[in-house]
Structure 1
């Protein structure tokens, strides 16, 4: 701005050039740092070398793998605002990462007869609201499936607890618990909105780098019962007719013509997306063909919004459920 206002100021132009060099250097160092970490961090972790001390009084993963007893014990420990042992945290993330590496970026979700799928939007580190969802909707089980549509971490104070619980359920029910990548499952957002700092504080930089690598493997969208397209943000990013700059200040918003054309072309009935706070937890738009669901009530402890989730039956029937926030602390 100084250079624009005083283009003949040589000192200002010199300092601008120095700033540009610093920015380029930081971006270069960041790029090579994570390129190296992504290539080696998962392979560098040897679980056999990590000793669980006798003094550790939390839940333990059995040699045969995770079970519901461990998950329930982990929830109880998180309620006490205690950590699980780093060995088990690594074990959960590595198991889920390996599973996602073998999956496509677009996942088909079929609901078997007499089963239910619950679709949730952003939870953003609000651990106690996540537990409340499981209280209200019912816990994940062999017949009750879940799909969390991105933005699991950042902003809230319990992102580690949220992501470890979601990953644990994914490991426990690999074919009945689904996770979509959101815009906050990225390094830049984690650095700015809290997950990086929280992970390094509660565990280590190595754990954070492993999460970064794992986030890179998450699927980008799901198709439920061959009729519902579930994606975190929305449809496409080209600035064509029917699209305009988003009111949020970043990205694009898309209109009913875009939704209708996409659904017709792909023989689908509805788009379900998240990404935006809604006063009542959800909003139905575009002639009933585009639904936004947001599952972090009283977002950032100040918005006063309600949360919502969507139940889908094996017959494809859709119902909406709204809930209030609960205190984000065990104290």
Structure 2
């Protein structure tokens, strides 16, 4: 099994989905302070892009990996498009590792990023990936799960096309259908694409990150899609809130009337889990600009 990771929560537990944090270490610390720490009762899923841009990417990555060692069943980490070599060389993480530690440390991180899953399936009903959906209508959860992220070639850098690339790179659009991506890689997908994917795969919603949302979290595509972005005042300049999405036990859930393997609406009130959105502001940090160690010319 490669991806997606399947996260199944026992009764009474809470899961918090966190979007991009981009090396904003002090905001990550504040996030845990505000919403609760990782524990057997509180599971976290970090949905990619925890390095690059911010100048404390090493600290964020080390912190998340230590938490994964300490609480292997209570923290999950998806790969984002910035957990890749080409992005790290452009947007600061490579240079930060070499400035603070060594090239070997960056190489160890690069190897670890190749082991991260591209998606997670929460309670069989919510698919969470960093980017978004696909250029094909027939992609299934089984195909995503069976994608081999450890190819015999030895390279764990994601391909430039196919479902792995799209899981990392695609974006939603308000118009129906698909269109060319403004990023120059991947594509954009409309509400009809999201609806068909959810119905075909019998899931309730898709959660993704990858784009700034000024309110931290945005529900899109008639409730089928949620974008969560967790780097408040991104790059010390955007002025956005950070946001998270909590999954909490629904006390009104009636298992006897739940069609677990049948048609699922986006917001069925008889669902084992309720989704709650919370937001947070940026906190002060030492006077160090984003990408302070970058040699790429993209610094601030």
TM-score, normalised via structure 2 length: 0.73
- Counterparts of 1:200 and 1:247, CA distance in 2: 32
Q: Does 1:152 align with 2:50?
A: yes
- Counterparts of 1:311 and 1:239, CA distance in 2: 29
Aligned to 1:207: 105
Aligned to 2:276: 319
Q: 1:284 to 1:219 in 2, by over 3 A?
A: same
- Counterparts of 2:229 and 2:49, CA distance in 1: 10
- Counterparts of 1:149 and 1:327, CA distance in 2: 24
Q: Does 1:194 align with 2:151?
A: no
- Counterparts of 1:171 and 1:238, CA distance in 2: 37
1:238 Cα shift? Answer: 5.1
Unaligned runs of 5+ in 2: 139-175, 250-271, 289-300
Aligned to 1:265: 200
1:174 Cα shift? Answer: 0.8
- Counterparts of 1:234 and 1:202, CA distance in 2: 33
Q: Is the 8 A contact 1:111 1:313 kept in 2?
A: no
Aligned to 1:256: 191
Aligned to 2:212: 277
Unaligned runs of 5+ in 1: 1-102
Larger Rg over CA atoms: 1
Per-residue CA deviation, residues 186-243 of structure 1 (Å, 9 max, x unaligned), is 0000000000000111111111111111101100000101111100000024599811
1:248 Cα shift? Answer: 4.3
Give the counterpart of 2:2 among 94, 104, 110: 104
Give the counterpart of 1:124 among 13, 16, 22: 22
SS in 2 for 1:287: helix
1:111 Cα shift? Answer: 1.0
- Counterparts of 1:271 and 1:190, CA distance in 2: 27
SS in 1 for 2:273: coil
Per-residue CA deviation, residues 7-48 of structure 1 (Å, 9 max, x unaligned), is xxxxxxxxxxxxxxxxxxxxxxxxxxxxxxxxxxxxxxxxxx
Q: Is the 8 A contact 1:128 1:329 kept in 2?
A: no
- Counterparts of 1:236 and 1:168, CA distance in 2: 33
Q: Does 1:235 align with 2:133?
A: yes
- Counterparts of 1:159 and 1:166, CA distance in 2: 11
Larger RCO, structure (CA 8 Å, separation 6 or more): 2
Q: How many residues align?
A: 229
Q: Is the 8 A contact 1:281 1:293 kept in 2?
A: yes
SS in 1 for 2:16: strand
- Counterparts of 1:133 and 1:317, CA distance in 2: 20
Per-residue CA deviation, residues 65-108 of structure 1 (Å, 9 max, x unaligned), is xxxxxxxxxxxxxxxxxxxxxxxxxxxxxxxxxxxxxx622111
Aligned to 1:307: 242
Q: Is the 8 A contact 1:285 1:291 kept in 2?
A: yes
TM-score, normalised via structure 1 length: 0.67
RMSD of the alignment, in Å? 1.8
1:282 Cα shift? Answer: 1.1
Per-residue CA deviation, residues 269-291 of structure 1 (Å, 9 max, x unaligned), is 00000000011001111100100
Stretches (4+) displaced over 3 A: 237-241, 247-250
- Counterparts of 1:277 and 1:192, CA distance in 2: 19
Range moving further from structure 2, 103-112 or 292-301: 103-112
